[in-house]
Amino acid sequence: MLSHSLHYVIFVIAVFALYWAVHRHFWPRMLVLLVASLVLYTGFTQLPTLVAQGNVTLKALLLAGLPLLIFLTGVTVDHLLVKGLGRTDRPGVRKLLVVLSIVSNLGMLAGFKYLELLRKTALAVLGPWGVEVRPEPFHLLLPVGLSFFVFQSISYTVDVYRGKASSGHSFVEHLLYMLFFPRVVSGPIVRASELMAHFREVPTLTPDDGGKAMFRIAVGLVKKLIIADVLGSGIVDPVFGSPHAYSSAECAVAAVAYTLELYYDFSGYSDIAIGVAALFGFRFPENFARPYLAKNLFEFWNRWHMSLSSWLRDYLYIPLGGNRRSKPRVLFNLMMVMVLGGLWHGADWRFAVWGAVHGVALCAVRCWWWFRGKQPEPGPVRVGLGMLATFTLVVLTRVVFRAPDMTHAGEFYARMLAGIPGLANVGPLVWTMLAVAIVAHTLPMKVYDLTALAFLKLPAPARAVVLVLIGLGIRQLSTLEARPYVYLQF
């Protein structure tokens, strides 16, 4: 169930009513959230429709339940290891339990997400040499959101080991932490200290907090359904689908449009997740901070998908040695983080290429800083050039991210650099949405804060009218067909 659909709105309203009816009692409110999360994760909200259409078979139910069974098994193993970690003071045993937890999580991720990639790679590399490699695909069912679950599980285990999180949580709390429905599938990646620590607190929701949450959800819906979807259907999909049918200028516009679409699509998802979580008394971390205004690539990664960037920093870059080792080792650490971070997005070597390009660029920036030494604050011209260079690199590498394969990406680059003029296929609505996207991204945050404050000062009936008007505007301007979130494919 997509979080920008009407079904999701109805679902959240029903869960909201049940939750606040029992919110003073720990187990009832936990069970409401857990059942809601399981229902949303398994897709059983669509069961009545499927039954009415006669589309439900025993095989379909088994196929739907198998990924859930795999997920529950993984959580059970991890829970037992974390419990054992919290009960022993022996350093050797503690380290062994952490290693077992990390290996089991990464093993499950590698098996279900990357085994097919390894089979294809082995077939392509070893096949010509006469080495026998399985020719048929494995046809494994990938549990939805497995990458996010694995990252959250590893962070929880490591935080318990470091003393930053408690192991004294029940299996239900552990399961809910992994499956909490507002951010299931695509994040943000929430640390145990940011979510599990608040499970036992009696939640509260003031009128202002509720108003802020509704405003945040409305902003997320506008980002997704108006800006991202119009750019996606209006220019990105057709041009990336057949780049040879469009001019070089139109390909360049499509590359910029995809870069903006990806931001508004994913940040819109994050806004909705943060807003819905706030309706239940939970505070999620911010996931974006106007990344396309970054002055360099390091700043970009500190502003883009911040929950993932901070995870890679805390649980991969720093354990590798971070900035504390020799200069060659620092550069190696940067490359490792970016290549693995690229592969995390999908079981395809083009994601590793995308990550490697960013890694090389980050290493180049780091070497330049070492060479220059400490410099005074840059002036407006240098800041502007830095922003332009960073945005250009991000746009060009996004082509690899969007194209179905490297061959297609190469064709797109060749067409974009062919020097063919003409923008006849870029319609007025696309131009308008590009302008809206750029202006909305560059506005000072104070403008958003003042807009939210003005919304909160309205009486409740007026707030309702504003939300209805936003809904009508979305229906008028958005595409007729609900488009899935772009990040769901990663």
Tens-digit pLDDT profile for residues 384-403: 999 999 999 999 999 998 99
What burial class does residue 273 get, using C-beta atoms within 10 Å of its C-beta: 0-12 exposed, 13-18 middle, 19+ buried? buried
How many CB atoms lie under 10 A from the CB of residue 24? 10
Q: Quote the mean pLDDT of the chain.
A: 87
The per-residue pLDDT for 466 is 85
Q: Coil, helix or strand for 298?
A: helix
Within 188-326, residue ranges assigned H as helices are 192-195, 207-221, 229-231, 237-241, 248-279, 297-303, 306-312, 318-320
Choose the catalytic residue: 345, 358, 408, 441.
345
Average of per-residue pLDDT across 160-173: 89
State yes or no: pLDDT of 293 exceeds 90: yes
The per-residue pLDDT for 334 is 95
Angle, helix 248-279 to helix 380-402, in steps of 10 degrees: 90
* DSSP for residue 377: P
Q: Which amino acid is at 161?
A: Y
Using CA atoms, how far apart are residues 339 and 361, in angstroms rounded to an integer? Answer: 12
pLDDT-derived band at 476, boundaries 50, 70, 90: low
The per-residue pLDDT for 63 is 55
Using CA atoms, how far apart are residues 375 and 223, in angstroms rounded to an integer? Answer: 38
pLDDT-derived band at 480, boundaries 50, 70, 90: very low
Nearest C-alpha neighbor of 67 from the set 123, 8, 143, 162: 143
- Contact (Cβ atoms closer than 8 angstroms) between residue 251 and residue 303: no
Q: Which amino acid is at 132?
A: E
Q: How many helices, marked H, and strands, marked E, lie in the chain? A: 23, 0
Per-residue pLDDT tens digits for 235-283: 999 999 999 999 999 999 999 999 999 999 999 999 999 999 999 999 9
Using CA atoms, how far apart are residues 391 and 229, in angstroms rounded to an integer? Answer: 21
Per-residue pLDDT tens digits for 312-360: 999 999 999 988 889 999 999 999 999 999 998 888 899 999 999 999 9
Average of per-residue pLDDT across 93-108: 90
Residue located via tokens 């994760």: 41
Q: Is residue 358 flagged as an active site residue?
A: no
Task: Give the residue extent of every domain in the chain.
Answer: 6-203, 208-295+378-477
Using CA atoms, how far apart are residues 28 and 22, in angstroms rounded to an integer? Answer: 6
Using CA atoms, how far apart are residues 8 and 131, in angstroms rounded to an integer? Answer: 50
- Give me 33's structure tokens: 């959230």
pLDDT-derived band at 306, boundaries 50, 70, 90: very high
Sequence-ordered list of residues with C-beta below 8 angstroms from that of 165, at least 6 positions apart, any chain: 156, 159, 191, 192, 193, 196, 197
pLDDT-derived band at 45, boundaries 50, 70, 90: very low
The per-residue pLDDT for 112 is 83
Q: Report the C-alpha dihedral over residues 325, 329, 333, 335, rounded to 10 degrees.
A: 160
Per-residue pLDDT tens digits for 399-441: 998 998 999 999 999 999 999 999 999 999 999 999 999 999 9
The per-residue pLDDT for 388 is 96
Q: Within 13 Å of residue 290, how many CA atoms lie on the same side as its CB?
A: 15
The per-residue pLDDT for 64 is 57
The per-residue pLDDT for 363 is 96
pLDDT-derived band at 57, boundaries 50, 70, 90: low
Q: Coil, helix or strand for 69?
A: helix
Using CA atoms, how far apart are residues 191 and 291, in angstroms rounded to an integer? Answer: 22
Among 25-29, 52-56, 172-176, the minimum mean pLDDT is found in 52-56
Angle, helix 171-179 to helix 58-87, in steps of 10 degrees: 120
Using CA atoms, how far apart are residues 79 and 352, in angstroms rounded to an integer? Answer: 32
Q: Coil, helix or strand for 490?
A: coil
- Give me 428's structure tokens: 């007025």
- Contact (Cβ atoms closer than 8 angstroms) between residue 244 and residue 411: yes
Using CA atoms, how far apart are residues 451 and 276, in angstroms rounded to an integer? Answer: 19
